[in-house]
Structure 1
């Protein structure tokens, strides 16, 4: 009895989010066959890994999937608004319906390695394929981050990571400590305040941004000024760009900026520095609250200054804004906290994620385990990445840049297939 031959595909795409499916769309336009492998269902992170009140932080007009822009092909009526979770998935599903990709859902890719005869072997939970080209589109949100000392916390204190959070009712009555002040942490903070819950916030080094400034959304000003066209190769501080946490602000209720000082004054949010340790029901914080608040404000004022400069250089008539004033400053740095004495019954981790590339047996990583590439194209022929922050510009890894990034990658794949003589037409 003859062995069943292993199926071959020109391009294997791992990850069925907007990045991987954008590449599939661009390849199909070029007549190149691809298969997308998704371990859950397409757009899983948008459907499942978001809380109930989640909405975009960037305005809807930045949703620019290949040939399917929010305010054009999708026909969106609120380009300056911020889509809710269900609206985002409606947009994504409508995009996929325009080209019907070849996607295997609920299939886990367990190994990718070089094939002895050239190309790659892709092992999955439902079988093995070979391919000429590989695109890794799994993003950087595989492993939720929780520090090792979290295991030393009193087990009566409920712990949850933001990936599992949906609404305040999941956590027991009492105050909550939210660890992390990126976009997730500050937006979840507002959820608990609206629910009438006491909130304590461990403030990290995340920067913040204005929302509306001088008559327009700050993102609109920055877009017009060419800020989002800066590439990582031309960025004045590429290390900072690659390592800095996203600026925090909100798209809720039409969009708002988040000043943690005001949330302390107006809503009683208790602020601490970076969390440093846990033991039983006692916590330790670094004495860096003042510095972290000041650094966030410095970023905020810097963006305002950048917009002011653009307005002045171009002679634009725009309303003036009063200068930024701190509404509150810490009188001391609180470095210790007793959860039971304070009435905190739960801890919510919002300190991010790590990627998982353990299943990739191809030499495309640096000594720290980070992928090495130029605009997603690695030095190993036929191996590529998409959907990562600053793949090329600020918009990489976001809706704004995925059309350009996926078009570039599809072009590189096409050239490599032609060069190798393996160009196949879908």
Structure 2
């Protein structure tokens, strides 16, 4: 029996492996593809980080390049992670998919593995699930009712404008991926229609520094989830949209509209070539800008309280207002030939047979530890802090998970030594 099985060889799972290896704990990392493959396989060509490079910290390794306040491209992230993997030798079994995890009758867990040579089983005392927060891409139920001549892809499949057929493109969703993909298509000269969701936005730079550097100095990335005003609803909101492209800048949907992008409210329904939208555009834009300005105000308060030398304060003023919100779109009439769905992902833990999930299928955990003995999670958004699920918080989260596991074995050794 293996002491610990880590399921998933992304940066989160490998970080736990790094700590377990240093502690001399027998373990294996089970990966359905290859280590950290998602960075190369699931990001578009012009992808960049939205967090500054100095946020990139993993166990025993951190960004030490020439541009700590810049934003690595997809290929640079892949190269940086390859450099980290060269610093240690995690016991990874590649092309090994875990299709079932269930508690064993005598304690621990039984895992069913699908490999190139068939199925096999593996027993372990601890299981760390590191498969990512929400692996299943979401598309709306009515997507199948749309005209089959319309090309439909999810944001995780998007690579560049040239992969889509000629014609206009509808991007649905304005979280980080949707907003950046809309910009990517816009810069490529494509006619873009954008269904705007309720995501907030943030200034890229404010008063001489990156906003995320200010927020880090203010301790927001270290504050535990339970300490946030508004509770669970507050921390489950969509992340703020911004970009690191070309050295970093704001994403201003109103400016896109000035430049010819067509904006709509929330997409409610559709059939054949007709789509219907809720009249929520004005409210969504106003909300995003209000959050933008409120973050600037919080930074102002921090600067006033600490006396940090900084540039003058400012506020965003809208450059465009929707006059008459369009609530329908005829795809054929507008020459829209493709849709990019950027409305998120949902969890899929059906392969885990354990009472560790809430009614929405999300893990019930405290800093990754569940009430099921030996079962833990890593790499979830807001698992402990805002930094969880990001490069900035992975090291701390992995250290906590690994320390909990190591302490379990240390306690066992102490009890054994005491004759208990």
Fold shared, TM-score > 0.5 on shorter chain: yes
Secondary structure, aligned partner of 1:380:
coil
**Per-residue CA distance 1:185-244 (angstroms, 9 max, x = gap):** 111112211221100000000110111100111111111111111111212223234321
Match of 2:382 in 1: 390
Question: Could you tell me how far apart the structure 2 residues matched to 1:256 and 1:109 are?
Answer: 41
Matches within 5 A, 1:339-350: 339-350=331-342
Q: Find the partner of 2:110 among 99, 121, 133.
A: 121
Q: Find the partner of 2:142 among 138, 142, 149.
A: 149
Question: Could you tell me how far apart the structure 2 residues matched to 1:217 and 1:192 are?
Answer: 25
Question: Could you tell me how far apart the structure 2 residues matched to 1:360 and 1:418 are?
Answer: 27
Would the aligned equivalents of 2:174 and 2:195 in 1 still touch at CA under 8 Å?
Answer: yes
Would the aligned equivalents of 2:168 and 2:193 in 1 still touch at CA under 8 Å?
Answer: yes
Match of 1:230 in 2: 223
Alignment: residue pair count: 411
Match of 1:96 in 2: 85
Match of 1:3 in 2: none
Match of 1:4 in 2: none
Question: Could you tell me how far apart the structure 1 residues matched to 2:33 and 2:354 are?
Answer: 24
Would the aligned equivalents of 2:197 and 2:266 in 1 still touch at CA under 8 Å?
Answer: yes
Q: Find the partner of 2:207 among 187, 205, 214.
A: 214
**Per-residue CA distance 1:67-115 (angstroms, 9 max, x = gap):** 10112xxxx2211111111111111111122111000111110111111
**Per-residue CA distance 1:374-419 (angstroms, 9 max, x = gap):** 1000111110000001111111000000010000111101122333
Matches within 5 A, 1:114-193: 114-126=103-115, 127-193=120-186
Deviation larger for 412-421 or 267-276: 412-421
Deviation larger for 25-34 or 400-409: 25-34
Secondary structure, aligned partner of 1:93:
helix
- Are 2:105 and 1:84 equivalent residues in the alignment? no
Match of 1:106 in 2: 95
Would the aligned equivalents of 1:231 and 1:392 in 2 still touch at CA under 8 Å?
Answer: yes
Using the TM superposition, give the Cα deviation of residue 368 of structure 1 relative to its aligned residue in structure 2, in angstroms. 2.1
Gaps of at least 5 residues in structure 2 are 416-420
Question: Could you tell me how far apart the structure 2 residues matched to 1:323 and 1:83 are?
Answer: 28
Matches within 5 A, 1:7-22: 8-22=1-15
Would the aligned equivalents of 1:206 and 1:296 in 2 still touch at CA under 8 Å?
Answer: yes
- Are 2:364 and 1:372 equivalent residues in the alignment? yes
- Are 2:30 and 1:69 equivalent residues in the alignment? no
Question: Could you tell me how far apart the structure 1 residues matched to 2:241 and 2:395 are?
Answer: 24
TM-score, normalised via structure 2 length: 0.96
Using the TM superposition, give the Cα deviation of residue 313 of structure 1 relative to its aligned residue in structure 2, in angstroms. 0.8
Secondary structure, aligned partner of 1:345:
strand
Using the TM superposition, give the Cα deviation of residue 338 of structure 1 relative to its aligned residue in structure 2, in angstroms. 0.6
Would the aligned equivalents of 2:347 and 2:361 in 1 still touch at CA under 8 Å?
Answer: no
Q: Find the partner of 2:299 among 296, 304, 307.
A: 307
Using the TM superposition, give the Cα deviation of residue 422 of structure 1 relative to its aligned residue in structure 2, in angstroms. 11
Secondary structure, aligned partner of 2:269:
strand
Match of 1:259 in 2: 252
**Per-residue CA distance 1:150-184 (angstroms, 9 max, x = gap):** 01101111111111111111111110000000111
Using the TM superposition, give the Cα deviation of residue 282 of structure 1 relative to its aligned residue in structure 2, in angstroms. 0.3
Secondary structure, aligned partner of 2:288:
helix
Question: Could you tell me how far apart the structure 1 residues matched to 2:223 and 2:132 are?
Answer: 21
Match of 1:360 in 2: 352
TM-score, normalised via structure 1 length: 0.94
Would the aligned equivalents of 1:377 and 1:409 in 2 still touch at CA under 8 Å?
Answer: yes
Would the aligned equivalents of 1:241 and 1:390 in 2 still touch at CA under 8 Å?
Answer: no
**Per-residue CA distance 1:106-131 (angstroms, 9 max, x = gap):** 11101111111211111101321100
Using the TM superposition, give the Cα deviation of residue 421 of structure 1 relative to its aligned residue in structure 2, in angstroms. 5.0
Would the aligned equivalents of 2:228 and 2:235 in 1 still touch at CA under 8 Å?
Answer: no
Give the aligned CA root-mean-square deviation in angstroms: 1.3
- Are 2:28 and 1:39 equivalent residues in the alignment? no
Secondary structure, aligned partner of 1:261:
helix
Match of 2:394 in 1: 402
Match of 2:266 in 1: 274
Using the TM superposition, give the Cα deviation of residue 420 of structure 1 relative to its aligned residue in structure 2, in angstroms. 4.4
Would the aligned equivalents of 2:201 and 2:242 in 1 still touch at CA under 8 Å?
Answer: yes
Question: Could you tell me how far apart the structure 2 residues matched to 1:114 and 1:164 are?
Answer: 35
**Per-residue CA distance 1:240-276 (angstroms, 9 max, x = gap):** 34321110000000000111111111x2111000100
Secondary structure, aligned partner of 2:45:
coil
